Structure 1
């Protein structure tokens, strides 16, 4: 994970298309920088109970431990979900980022680019044919990396959006909007078949441990005077 290709002063979504098997198709296919960095990042971590763990029928809880095993990190997988609020305003569109984007469309291009992440990537087999094929194979949704600063690059799937278009021009194109985007972080199961997912998970995990160590190293002396029962 190189630090010289992305500006870490601005949050962003880096998007990679995937082939039919879920494999990578190369470099970033789309890059969606946040016009304004969200003021809040709401994260929720939970341990998902492993299959077959928990209280057993008729066990009566005699051993006192079976019901708690499902909420243990050794027997369940860690899940992370988070949400952000993205704001778009035509009046504050940066000149260097807008390029030749027509003003007459308002911010519909930005909204559409985000919304498109919920749809499967169109492949060659999805293109219209001569009509002889009654069905077409469904493509896969793109792989999305949530880039938040220089130490957090999280592979995610987008599970929902709430789009609030607020003002419109004369052609009814929105000129201001707020979009609540909900994510679920991908896990080790997704990393088995995708090296970009595994490298992103490792990158973020390594940096999490570094940050934790900074805190723990500075507070170790504070626990020296605490007498715990043996």
Structure 2
């Protein structure tokens, strides 16, 4: 990851289109900066129990084979899941000139809403255009790869799993001029990184920075541990 293509002063979504096989298609296809940085970032981390664990286990005892089949959600083989949500606010009155360019005011903030909403839909290629129906059925396009950019140390590859859109005020043509959008994400994991170098590099970038931040804290508290007597 490089620091020269992203404004770290604003949160943003960097979007990359993917081909039918999930392969990368090159540079950023869309860049959606947040007009106002959200006031809250709600994150949830959990360890998912590995498939097959806990099956046949009896309460208070081992599994049906007499072993410890039910290792619980903290088993070493369980994968880490991360989900988070943000609330995005849009207001035509505060649209920044440098971000809006020549965007027509008459459409209100419908362009911003539509750009976000479009991330939930598969990318349409030239071969997906309407036809006379004589061609064989083609595989449905894939949704774009989205990188959630939050400051200079967190760039997380995500899939958007839901949006709640609250349009609040409208102009004379019923285009919204203010809205709040709750967006729910799930972070991509190691399985997604195997076939996509952009996912793997983003995960590594964020993980490396997480360890750096943790080390800053741990280095300052290491001396305190020397005064604690633990049972041997």
Q: 1:88 to 1:64 in 2, by over 3 A?
A: farther
CA distance in 1, matches of 2:120, 2:173: 26
SS of 1:110's equivalent?
helix
Deviation at 1:64, TM superposition (A): 11
Query: Are the counterparts in 2 of residues 16 and 142 from structure 1 also a CA contact under 8 Å?
Result: yes
Q: For structure 1, which segment, 66-75 or 32-41, has the greater mean C-alpha deviation from structure 2 after superposition?
A: 66-75
CA distance in 2, matches of 1:107, 1:65: 59
For residue 199 of structure 1, the aligned residue among 198, 201, 209 is: 201
Query: Are the counterparts in 2 of residues 54 and 69 from structure 1 also a CA contact under 8 Å?
Result: no
TM-score scaled by structure 2? 0.93
Q: For structure 1, which segment, 129-138 or 44-53, has the greater mean C-alpha deviation from structure 2 after superposition?
A: 129-138
CA distance in 2, matches of 1:20, 1:82: 27
Q: 1:219 to 1:58 in 2, by over 3 A?
A: closer
Q: 1:53 to 1:62 in 2, by over 3 A?
A: closer
CA distance in 2, matches of 1:108, 1:66: 55
Query: Are the counterparts in 2 of residues 53 and 69 from structure 1 also a CA contact under 8 Å?
Result: no
Q: 1:56 to 1:200 in 2, by over 3 A?
A: farther
Q: For structure 1, which segment, 122-131 or 143-152, has the greater mean C-alpha deviation from structure 2 after superposition?
A: 122-131
Q: 1:23 to 1:16 in 2, by over 3 A?
A: same
CA distance in 2, matches of 1:67, 1:122: 45
Aligned residues: 230
Task: Give the aligned partner of residue 146 of structure 1.
Answer: 148
For residue 81 of structure 2, the aligned residue among 79, 82, 91 is: 79
Deviation at 1:130, TM superposition (A): 3.8
Deviation at 1:53, TM superposition (A): 6.6
Q: 1:85 to 1:58 in 2, by over 3 A?
A: closer
Task: Give the aligned partner of residue 53 of structure 1.
Answer: 55
Task: Give the aligned partner of residue 42 of structure 2.
Answer: 42
Q: For structure 1, which segment, 144-153 or 62-71, has the greater mean C-alpha deviation from structure 2 after superposition?
A: 62-71
CA distance in 2, matches of 1:70, 1:10: 40
Deviation at 1:75, TM superposition (A): 1.6
Deviation at 1:125, TM superposition (A): 1.7
Query: Are the counterparts in 2 of residues 43 and 81 from structure 1 also a CA contact under 8 Å?
Result: yes
Q: 1:98 to 1:194 in 2, by over 3 A?
A: same
Query: Are the counterparts in 2 of residues 53 and 66 from structure 1 also a CA contact under 8 Å?
Result: no
SS of 1:13's equivalent?
strand
Q: Deviations over 1:135-160 (max 9, x none)?
A: 34310000000000000000000000
TM-score scaled by structure 1? 0.94
Give the aligned CA root-mean-square deviation in angstroms. 2.2
Q: 1:136 to 1:60 in 2, by over 3 A?
A: closer
Deviation at 1:62, TM superposition (A): 10
SS of 1:197's equivalent?
helix
Q: Deviations over 1:71-92 (max 9, x none)?
A: 2251200000000000000000
